[in-house]
Amino acid sequence: MTDYLVKALAYDGFVRAYAVDATATVAEAQRRHDTWNTASAALGRTMIGGLMLGATLKGDDKLTIKIDGNGPAGGIVVDSNGKGDVKGYIKNPHLSLPLNSIGKIDVRGAVGTEGMLTVIKDLGMKEPFSGQTPIVSGEIGEDFTYYLAVSEQIPSAVGVSVLVDTDDSIKTAGGFMIQIMPGASDEVIDQIEEQLKETTRISSLLDQGQTPEEILKGLLGTEDVDFLETMPVQFKCDCSKDKFGAAIISLGPDEIQAMIDEDHGAEAVCSFCNNKYEYSEADLLELKREAMGEV
């Protein structure tokens, strides 16, 4: 089964909910960046959050999430869109910390407890929407929850979870996002809060064979869930040799000539997917001509 996300409504439309199985998606990021277990969990959780926030957008709209904490992981950057595509990277992929006090991967220790979470949404308008909130936990799920409450004024509960195997491979990865709509009764809110207190980590539920649909029914405490959409999700990067070529052209002819004189070529590496693009002297001469307006 490929990775997918479900969107649903419950409690007469007063609760909006999302759940995602992103196991293969996070595994692809782990493979491309050779992340070690703590870095895998931190990057994976951010990507899962990115998928769920992206699912609130229209298809071509996109967003960027930046987590800049004071921990040894360094910055985390994730891009996603309304089509279920996501890509991301972490500054320090080779990070493996001791387990925390409850025997779990120490994501808080990796991310840190001070810093900022930034979400930039490109909705096809003149200016992108940008929201920023302080890191309140470093566990990432709680940080997304705080961001949604403060920056977007949506009372939410976000859970993101990555189960890393002993060989650093990704066993399961997934998450949920539950949002309370205006007009929801206190009874509904209390019911969901009680259910969430009893919740097992999503990655463990996936490991037990539960589907996103089954997970949402358990989280919401009701079988009466209206599933609106099922959307495939995947790790996908839109980098290309042409895109990097355009970036080289923007450096100007003098800088391109310096690359030719000093290095006799160039190599570009995509931060998001680690794909490499080689430019020969002939390639650079062609780009230089474009920079000079001769093509």
First CA to last CA across the chain, in angstroms? 48
Beta strands in 70-220 (DSSP E): 76-81, 85-90, 115-122, 129-134, 156-164, 170-180
Q: Is the pLDDT of residue 1 over 80?
A: no
The mean pLDDT of 16-30, rounded to a whole number, is: 97
Domains in the chain and their CATH numbers?
Answer: 4-235 (3.55.30.10), 241-291 (3.90.1280.10)
Q: Which two tokens stand for residue 205?
A: 């539920």
Question: What's residue 126's pLDDT?
Answer: 81
For residue range 195-251, list pLDDT tens digits in order. Answer: 888 878 899 999 999 999 999 999 998 888 999 999 999 999 999 999 999 999 999
211-219: list long-range contacts, CB under 8 Å, 24+ apart.
Answer: 211/21, 212/4, 212/5, 212/6, 212/19, 212/20, 212/21, 212/174, 213/6, 213/19, 215/19, 215/174, 215/176, 216/6, 216/8, 216/17, 216/19, 216/176, 219/17, 219/19, 219/176, 219/178, 219/192, 219/195
Question: What's residue 114's pLDDT?
Answer: 96
Q: Kindly compute the dihedral angle of the four CA atoms of residues 277, 26, 137, 38, in this order, to the nearest 10 degrees.
A: -80
Dihedral sign of CA atoms 24, 29, 121, 196 in order = positive
For residue range 60-114, list pLDDT tens digits in order. Answer: 899 999 999 999 999 999 999 999 999 999 999 999 999 998 889 999 999 999 9
* Position with higher pLDDT, 125 vs 158: 158
Contact assessment for residue 133 and residue 147, using Cβ atoms and an 8 Å cutoff: yes
| Prediction pTM value | 0.93
